[in-house]
Amino acid sequence: MLGLAALLCMGGQAQAKKKKESGNPIFPGWYADPEGTVMDGRYWVFPTYSAPFKDQLFFDAFSSRDLVTWTKHERVLEQKNIPWLRQALWAPAILEKDGRYYLFFGANDVHEGEIGGIGVAVSDKPEGPYKDALGRPLIGEIVNGAQPIDQFVFRDDDGQYYMYYGGWRHCNMCKLSDDLLSIVPWEDGQKFHEVTPSESYVEGPFMMKRGGKYYFMWSEGGWTGPDYCVAYAIADSPKGPFRRIGKILQQDPEVATGAGHHSVIQVPGKDEYYIIYHRRPLSETDGNSRVTCIDRLHFNADGTIRPVKMTFTGVKARKLRK
Ligand code: FUB
């Protein structure tokens, strides 16, 4: 007869074998604005801790080798390493450059005359700890009506890094220096150019390149409500012009509301894409009740993006090649 321990062990193995899909959400807890990427041979997701502003004083991060099993890295960035953070640590943007890891963040929900805005923290490891690199915001001013939050950093094929950012219905773009710690003015001497793609733009810009075209995406609607969603444009240049094509992610009465503030992971070297986004479970109405989810992002033959089908199952295991 099998002992209890053996039976439990077999149950555990069956459980481990069963998990072939990520499920949605991909990890427990209220987490929003997820930035997904590949670094150091692993998938990573850096989200906002979704809670009252006064409690948003740290970021956790999550890593995975297959998109199915996620490991939590607690407090990769926290208040003790950002002297000027008071509240509302929002919307991480993460990238690796020359063996160092740069974590851009929004802090303080800044308004005119206040200290806050977009900062940058650096670490030698993707899992941190990250430390504020400047001792002050990289962008603390409100230019063209854009609140300095929701930055996304994009590296073009020529090696130039651009930052897109902005809340309050306006989006600005700037060039970053080679060390990613300052802003290089445009040819006309301006530091920021407005690239708001549509009257319906609200926040959460994201840029990616595919087939020589620039895919610009952003969130529309109010993030605390059900109508939050993601729309996109395709352009021939990173500066646009951006013409809104349509929505790619929105609420589904069968699945969730408030789906938005996304990012996209490309499997390196493959024409294979995953959208990482937050949404609100149907049982929830509180603005901060947001969970991080993943689904496939597909393109049509003409290069347009197919509307995302939100699922409860998530995606199948997808290992990265060594
Ligand atoms: O999570 C805080 C804020 O909510 C983000 O900065 C916005 O994009 C919205 O998702």
Specify if 152 maps to a domain: yes
pLDDT tens sequence across 228-257: 999 999 999 999 999 999 999 999 999 999
Q: Given a cut of 70, is residue 1 above it in pLDDT?
A: no
Q: Is ligand 1 within 6 A of the CB of residue 35? A: no
**2 within some domain:** no
Q: Provide the number of structural domains found in the chain.
A: 1
pLDDT at 18: 61
Does residue 209 lie in a domain region?
yes
Which residue's alpha carbon is nearest to atom 2 within ligand 1?
Answer: 90
**Averaged pLDDT for residues 173-202:** 98
**Cα–Cα distance measured from residue 256 to residue 13, given in angstroms and rounded to the nearest whole number:** 32
Residue written as token pair 């979704």? 50
Tens of pLDDT, residue by residue over 89-112, are 999 999 999 999 999 999 999 999
State the closest ligand 1 atom to the C-alpha of 88, by its place in the atom list counted from 1: 2
Average pLDDT rounded to a whole number, residues 171-176:
98
**123 touches ligand 1 (CB under 6 Å):** no
The whole domain housing 107 covers 23-297
Atom of ligand 1 nearest to the CA of 106: 6
Catalytic residue (one of 109, 127, 203, 295)? 203
Question: Known catalytic residue: 187?
Answer: no
Nearest to 243 by CA among 265, 206, 214, 275: 214
Q: Is 306 within a domain?
A: no
Asked if residue 187 is part of any domain, the answer here is yes
**Index of the ligand 1 atom closest to the CA of residue 32:** 1
What separation in Å is there between the alpha carbon of 249 and the centre of ligand 1? 16
Nearest CA to ligand 1 atom 4: 223
Residue 108 CA to residue 199 CA, distance in Å, equals 26
Cα distance from N-terminal residue to C-terminal residue, the chain = 43
In this structure, what CATH number is given to the domain that contains residue 93? 2.115.10.20
Nearest to 210 by CA among 226, 227, 234, 194: 234
- pLDDT digit string, tens, across residues 30-78: 999 999 999 999 999 999 999 999 999 999 999 999 999 999 999 999 9
pLDDT at residue 293 greater than cutoff 50 = yes
User: Residue 14: inside a domain, yes or no?
Assistant: no
Q: Which two tokens stand for residue 114?
A: 């206040």
Answer whether 261 contacts ligand 1 (Cβ < 6 A): yes
Question: What is the whole-number distance in angstroms between the Cα of residue 210 and the centre of ligand 1?
Answer: 26
**Predicted pLDDT of residue 321:** 82
321 occurs within a structural domain: no
316, part of any domain: no
Q: State in Å: Cα 198 to ligand 1 middle.
A: 19
Atom of ligand 1 minimally distant from the CA of 91: 6
